[in-house]
Amino acid sequence: MQSSKSLKTQLVAAAVSVVLSAFALSAATYAWYVANTKVSATTSTISATTNGFILQIDELKNGAQHGGEQKSLEAQTTGATLSPSSTDDLKNWYVCNGWNNQGLVTDYSTPNFSTTAKALPGEYEVAGKKYNAFIKSEYIVYTITDTGTADVYLDASNGAPVTIDAVGGDVSETMVGSLRVAITTQEIGRDGKSGTGPEDLRVVYAIHNETGKGNDANAIEGWTSIQNKGGTPTLDQATYRHIFTGGTDGWVAAKGTNGDYSVADGTQPIAKGVGYKGVAVHVYIWMEGTDADCVNGKSIENSLTTYNVSVKLAGVATS
């Protein structure tokens, strides 16, 4: 067990909050449930000081906000319209392209993502309407002073490190049950305000441990995704590492009664050795079309319910 026993090795805590506002269509037109979902994302940071440095979070486009006691407490990304999709690697994305007379999905296609200057990541059009296969929020996590580094973990000190909470109405299991939250990391580029090199997919979260079958003709049980198999979109067991509420062992830091955090040996960090330059942390959110909950029959039509998705991080000082 690695534990923080002095100022030098105390944990620095931070939190990422992503707020989704979801509005369901009155009629679905795809076999995978379709939601006309306006999404906004907000990030807030809770900071603690230890041995003169503070772990901070801001929007990546702003870069690290160094200098004295200045703190980055909030960042916000632009809203978008979300529809069900599927991916196994956050690189190859698929949407429903056809179904049989039983309403089961039989064919998948890659969305023609927009490349215009104002387009959001994941944005595409169907019949003149804009949708997003996913929402991508980009952050920078860094130490505000150049006095040490920290390994960053998911924070389970106050319950689940990732939560999805409904606000202002009834919960739609279609929305909550099929949401995926993925976290990737990437090196910071020379400009300090963008990522460079490949993204490292660390882990994917769902609220439940997936055990059922989705609305696909070749549905299989468990965590599934559409994958590129020899150039053909194919449904298979998801290969990414995944966690769920109540099933986060091996990924979280916890706080003891004395206020110190600790991580068990072998715990997987989100990022290692985060320092003054920082690391890019990307949060992807999508409705997994192959999920057992992503079906029309479970939808709550015309719902004005909003959903708050929170991802909490904690950093263990390493030097």
Residue, of 134 and 23, whose pLDDT is higher:
134
Tell me the pLDDT band of 29, cut-offs 50, 70 and 90: very low
Q: Which of 196-200, 241-245, 311-315 has the lowest mean pLDDT?
A: 311-315
What pLDDT does 171 receive? 77
Where b means 16+ CB within 10 Å and e means fewer, 61-91 reads eebbebeeeeebeebebebbbbbbbbbbebe
Residue, of 80 and 70, whose pLDDT is higher:
80
User: Do residues 11 and 318 touch, judged by C-beta distance below 8 A?
Assistant: no
How many Å apart are CA 58 and CA 70, to the nearest integer? Answer: 12
Query: DSSP letter at 258?
Result: T
Residues 251-264, mean pLDDT to the nearest whole number: 79
Residue, of 205 and 17, whose pLDDT is higher:
205
State pTM to two decimals: 0.85
Tell me the pLDDT band of 5, cut-offs 50, 70 and 90: very low
- Across the chain, what does the average pLDDT equal? 78
Is the per-residue pLDDT at 105 higher than 80? yes
Tell me the pLDDT band of 193, cut-offs 50, 70 and 90: very high
Token pair belonging to 279: 């690391």
Altogether, the residues listed in the chain come to a count of 319
What pLDDT does 169 receive? 74
